[in-house]
Structure formats: structure tokens, C-alpha cells
Amino acid sequence: MEEIKLLDCTLRDGGYLNDWEFGNDNMVSIFERLVSAEVDIIEVGFLNESRSFDSNRTIMPDGRSVDTLYGGLDVGNSMVVAMIDYGSCGVDKLVPKAESLLDGIRVIFKKSVMYEAIAFCREVKKLGYQVFVQAVSITSYNDDEIRELISLVNQLTPYAFSLVDTYGLLDSEKLMRYLEIADCEMDPGIGLGYHSHNNFQLAYANCMEVIKRHSGKRRMILDGTLYGMGKSAGNAPTELLAMYLNEKQGKQYHISQMLEAIDVTLLEMYSKIRWGYSLKFYISALHDCHPNYVTYLMDKRNLSMHSINRILDTLADEKRLLYDPAYIEQIYLGYQQRECDDRNDKKRLMEKLKGKRIVLLAPGNSLKTQREKIEAYVRRQECVVIAVNYYVPGMDYLFVTNSKRYVQMSSRLSRREDAFLVIATSNITRMKDTFDFVIEYSGLLDMQAAIVDNPLIMLLKLFGEIGVEDIALAGFDGYQKAETPNYINPNMEHSFTKERAEEINQDTREALARLNLKKKLLFLTDSFYESGQGSGI
């Protein structure tokens, strides 16, 4: 009866989080603990010829590097393997199996290159290695394509063929469908593996289903990582799989050794680099798309979750799993640029504001620290007060371009406790009441800027069109890298603004210069946009 084997890939899959820089002591410690735990197969890292050798990293330029790092260690009864992403490391970088610590090579590849990848696997096999065929993004294959791949696998007769759920899209029913096709079509001497990801919190549950349904007719291989450390939402935790296999399959993995590895090496990493189930990876799995699309849209910081979901719904099938930054930028702008006839609203707004002194308020920290100065100016000059993407008691107008901020303010806006009017750009979806003015979003963009939809620039561009010239700014502080808050409300803080502080400040300064305003802006509060001092928009 063929058994289930447990494969740990912490040193390889976990490396996506730290650029494979575990540190030599940690690498050795994890390896030795896994050997002591009697894990069946240990994956020690990636082979990638474009990377130089680094004794602190588990990504290595060739097969000999594995022996340099791990060659003097006791491997016990464990099989030792490394992974090659097809195309990243030539077969000439491998020594014959008889000269290497490695027992096997796992080769990952996309559907578009399966024929070339299988041919590469054949060359690896000639060197004496056990070959693992790893079909990434298995959900991108239809039934006929799976059968086509398995026919190639049967001709190769590798050690194992694995279903890799790269984006964690499979539930147990879909997983069993793929497993049944593979089990039925594949020669019985070839092992069948499953590599999960935790986007839907199903990695461990799916592995349990595989274990329950194991017939014993062929070798099964389950991938896990210590503490679930891994790419995207992480993997099925090795320690949980070991526990379940001990209980249900009579295995005798030494879980205490795994826990020691987690405690000694991984918990400190986890405190600095978090992994596991998250909203971003859930959304990417929900829409069957590359996580970078979600990251791109969330990093805009101006889209509600409703808007993000609607944008992801429009992705073309052939683009979903292949991240294309230019494509998602095009889709984003297309979604935001909802055309509307704003001529009447602009005319009405001009009638209300032309000739008025305007004070624009943003939620920078100076709105609180220099409050008395701002209030004195507003009283003295009898100004019209317009807040930008932020609710300010006593304001006359609210200018809204940011869907996320609008959703946060929507309940307060619906009560209309103050007698203010709302000017919204056409990308904002109304919750209940109608907006007082709707201005076409696309007409206010600055396509030369890095941030094309900077709300300050958009509003100033609108004012230029309707003849508003006497403008003062407060709370438009700009950004700084220091720990000092950028925003009056700590909940509005974003890490990316600190990371890109000077870039955003310079982009705004250049955009202001391009406006070529007839009358110079008056900065009531300190701002990086004017004199290089200040603190958030």
C-alpha cells in the first residue's frame, strides 16, 4: 500500500517573503529540525542561475551550492530536493545525482510552456534525479489540457506530478475533480502531489480531504510550510498536517521539533514580515486574479471595496492570472472616467463661487495645530470654506473624489447636520441622496503627473475653468517620512505615504506649476508643497 508523504518547503516558498534571506544559522536550524522531525521530503530552496551565491540565502545559482550550504549535515531518512522555475536554471547547472546531496528536482512551469518544461524534466531525469513535475496555476487548465499534460507526464514517468493551486482558488469539490482526473489518467507508479495556498482559508482543510480520500493505490505527497510561511496568503502549516497524519494515518512525525523551529527561527520573522490569510489575498482568489491587481487598486487609497470588486469583475480572462500593470492602470482609469454632462453644474457652481475668497481644507495635521490662525483668516476675509475628501463641521462645501473616503463619511453626509453642499466627481457612486454638483472626473486629471487624480490639483483645475482665483490652502501639509503623523486623524495614515513622501511632494509641486494659476495660492499653514516644511493631504 502506497503511503502519504509530507513535504516541507519552508526554505523555498517562505523565501518569497524575505528574498530567501533566512540567514545561514536559521537555514541550518530549520533543516536540522525538519530532519529530526522525520519529515519525508525537505525542499531546501530555489536554483536560479541569475542569482549569485549567498550563504545566507536559500536561492542558489547551481546544484553545487546546495552541497556547500547543507553538505555536512545529517539528512536522516529525508529526501532532499530543490526547485527550478523552468527557464531560470539550465540543466548544465546541475551535477549528476551521484555527486550531489540532492535527491530530486521539482520543476514548476506555466501551461504555456508545458512541452518545453517536460523536455527539460527529461534532461534532469537523465542525471539521475527524482523529478517532480509541478503544474502551477492548475486552475488555469481545463479538463482536456490536464489530460494533455498527464499524457506527457506518463511518457516521462517522474517521481511525482503535483497540482499547484498558486492562488488558493480551489475548494474541496474542485480539488477532488482535478485529483480524480489525474488519478484516473496517470500511471500508478507516478506519485500525485498537492501544493495549496490559503487565500480562502482552505489550505489545511483541502489537505485533510486529500488524506481522507487517499486510496493507497499510489503515493501521495502533501506540501506544507512551518507556521504556514509562504507566498501570498501562505500555505498549509506543516505542523498541522503532521498532527493530522499522526492521528489518522499512524505516522510518527516529531511535532515538537517543528515547534522548536517555529519558536527559534520563524516567530521573529513573523513579527517583522506577516503572512497568512488577508483581505488582499481573499479578494484576489474571489476574482480568480493575480494578487498584484488587488495590491495596485488598494494602493490607490481612493477606491471603496465595492469599486475594487467592480473593476476586478471586468478583467479579461486571459489577463487575470498574468499581472500587467499597464493593463490594470487602463482599466482603473476607464472605470473612474464615467462621462457625464457637467456643463450645467459648472455654470451653477461658477455663479455661486466667482468673486468669492475660497479656503480649501485638507486633513493634514496642521488643520489642528494651526486652527486659530485658519479660523481668524476665514472670519476676517469672509471666506467660503471647501473641505476636500474630509468632513469638517461648519464647511460650506465638500469636494469628494475619493470613493473610500466617501463611504467612510456617508452616514454623516446622509444626516446633513450642517448646511453644506456636495461637489462630487463622476467616479463616486452615490449611497443615498443626490449630489449637489457632479463634475466629470476625466476632465480634471493631470495625465503628466505620477498621481493623475490628486484631489487638490483636480479642484484647482475646476476652479481655473469656472474663474475662481482667490484661493487659500490649509491642511495641505505634504508628506514626511518621520513618525510624526501626516493626518489629523490617525485612521487616515498610510504606510506608502511615508515610503514615497518626497516623490509625492515633488509630484504635487510640479503639478501646481503646470496649472499656471493667474493668482498665487496662499498657504495658510506650513506645507511641503510651498516651502519644504509641513506634514498630509
C-alpha cell at 42: 525537505
Q: To 10 degrees, what angle do helices 24-36 and 63-70 make?
A: 80
Contact (Cβ atoms closer than 8 angstroms) between residue 111 and residue 141: yes
Please tell me the distance from the alpha carbon of residue 466 to that of residue 385, in angstroms, as a whole number.
17
How far apart, in Å, are the Cα atoms of 157 and each of 92, 186, 308? Answer: 22, 9, 44
Are the C-beta atoms of residues 135 and 109 closer than 8 Å to each other? Answer: yes
What is this structure's pTM?
A: 0.70
Element (H, E) at 360: strand 358-361
Q: In CATH, what is the architecture of 4-272?
A: Alpha-Beta Barrel (3.20)
Measured CA to CA, the distance from residue 85 to residue 225 in angstroms comes to: 19
Residue in the block written with cell 490594470:
328
Closest CA to 263 of 166, 523, 488, 255: 255
Set of cell numbers at residue 26: 536559521
User: Scanning the structure block, which residue is given the C-alpha cell 455661486?
Assistant: 352
473-501 core/surface letters (b: 16 or more CB in 10 A; e: else): bbbbbbbbeeeebbbbeeebeeeebbebb
- Cα distances from 359 to residues 384, 470, 524, in angstroms, run 6, 9, 9
User: What beta strand segments (E) does 412-497 contain?
Assistant: 421-425, 437-439, 471-474
At position 98, the amino acid (one-letter code) is: A
Grid cell, residue 284, equals 484576489
DSSP 231: S
Residues 55, 24: contact at Cβ < 8 Å?
A: yes
CA distance 278 to 232: 9
pLDDT tens digit at each of 537 positions of the chain? 579 999 999 999 999 999 999 999 999 999 999 999 999 999 999 999 999 999 999 999 999 999 999 998 999 999 999 999 999 999 999 999 999 999 999 999 999 999 999 999 999 999 999 999 999 999 999 999 999 999 999 999 999 999 999 989 999 999 999 999 999 999 999 999 999 999 999 999 999 999 998 888 899 999 999 999 998 799 999 999 999 999 999 999 999 999 999 999 999 999 999 899 888 889 998 899 999 999 999 888 778 787 888 899 999 999 998 899 999 999 988 887 766 889 999 999 999 998 999 999 999 989 989 999 999 999 999 999 999 999 898 899 999 998 888 888 877 777 666 789 999 998 887 766 678 999 988 889 898 998 888 999 999 999 999 999 999 999 999 888 765 555 544 444 444 555 678 888 899 999 999 998 889 999 999 899 985 333 334
